[in-house]
Structure 1
Amino acid sequence: MAQSNFFRIESPADLQARLSQDLQRVSVLYFRADWAEPCKTMDGVTAELAKRWESVLFLSIEAEALPDISESFEVDAVPYFILLRGHTLLTRLSGAQPAVLSAALKSHASKPSALSSSSQQPVAARTVYQPGEQATGSAGAGGTVAGRGADDVQDESDEDLVKRCEALMKQSDVVLFMKGDRNTPRCGFSQKIVGILETNNIEYTTFDILNDEGVRQKLKELNEWPTFPQLIIKGEFVGGLDVVKEMEESGELREMIEG
């Protein structure tokens, strides 16, 4: 028998509709991915918690399949949990931490709402990582390219930004635009692609988009792809994690690099 408080979200409109049904209700947004082993544990945990907390709305969200939702809430890893009351952010939790999630529910779901209701769109979570940090390394195969700080790009024209993005995409045969770098990936998706490239002994350059907001936004537009990581091979956009995984499995990734 299906639970009446546990649903799989199919679209941004679906999420909005679910949240809008009761603006005083606590909701748990569970961002997951099939490839992430910790999600297998948390699938069972969330199902059990949903049975225990019948008044709480549990919403399962495929982080890669619904990038607009993941991006709007700055989800940078899976499993990832965001607790809302109506459209108001209560807290966010990263990783497979059943005890922490249970404690958060006890803290928020057992209390009457002291927050005003709202008919606006869900409040996006605050950015987890500040983009003002400086990356290390230098351009070149196997390196990490430093981004520009806000002061450096303040007067950069759109034309110059496009040229800079195009140059970055062609700096080496394989360029990975990601959150963090190869040594310290700052999201599960970036970590997974790094693993694929390393396993296949592919030389590549990384660019930390968290350090350059201009490049981060312009690449979404140029490549018509809303999320990161983004893999570029020989100056051409290839795709995100799901595409790269399929290419690795079919042998197309190696063929494209060596061709």
Structure 2
Amino acid sequence: MAVLEGKSVSEFEEIVSNAGSSLVVVHFWADWAQQCAQMNDVMVELAKEHLQVKFVKVEAEAVPDISERYEVAAVPTFIFIKNKQKIDRLDGAHAPELTKKVQTLASAAVLPSTTAAAAPKEDLNTRLKKLVSSAPVMLFMKGTPEAPRCGFSRKMIDLLSGQKVRFSYFNILADEEVRQGLKTFSNWPTFPQLYANGELLGGLDIIKEMAESGDLATALPKTETLEDRLKTLINKGQVTLFMKGNRQEPRCGFSKQIIGILNDTSVQYETFDILQDEEVRQGLKKFSNWPTYPQLYVKGELIGGLDIVKELKESGELESILQNGQ
């Protein structure tokens, strides 16, 4: 099933109403946020796997009435709905967690709306911990990068843009609980506030000083290239299999067959579920010049897919090749 788009309040409400008791997964996104584009790709793959679930994209800033209704103040945010009632949410770009929630909520019994409405609210401290860590660099500001709502926030955006810093943001004007709670959580009384890897760097004056001294570039997490990330992944284990699903639960017939073959050997191996990371899924095809999955690597070198592994098993060479990777 294709991912639907809620481009207006009426379109969105029609989608939710027509879903009945089926799970509706709503992705609030923005076209300027790279993480949102990646999560949109994850949604496409999940839609292929869960035909009974309705997946919907809502551009957060284009349909503010819907964003405000569900207290969406940062992107990406995912809202889960059944029987027109919100039953769960996920803040940030967490593909494995999104996949897990979809699997769990899609198969869960439908709760009466009164039960769903009475679900306990997430502890504020827990929510703040998730928010400050929801992106490598996270800015809490008044307004949005396109429309800052105070001079300090505007200057921070200009500074980060000038330093070519990639960041996500949270509009504290859209959530008074977060606005007040973060002051205590961070022990910092004003906004904007800039976090890196879940740790507070400071406000505008501090970030200005760090930029002028050159310390800002050191304090911010380095942006790892896709090629570097792929090299790290294929060398994660001496023997590494990129597949759909995992060894306990293969998600396609080819992956299931190759797991069976590897399990018949005495070799230990790592697996990576390409369904949970669209960037890796597409990037590895080009990196390895191998268009399909599964893909088996030994000591960082591509052995091949299922057909090659079958041939190696039949010839008696497979175990020797895998053992050389131990």
TM-score normalised to the size of structure 1? 0.49
Query: Where is the helix percentage greater, Structure 1 or Structure 2?
Result: 2
Task: Look at both structures and tell me which one has the larger radius of gyration over its CA atoms.
Answer: 2
Q: Which has the higher contact order (CA 8 A, sep 6+)?
A: 1
TM-score normalised to the size of structure 2? 0.39
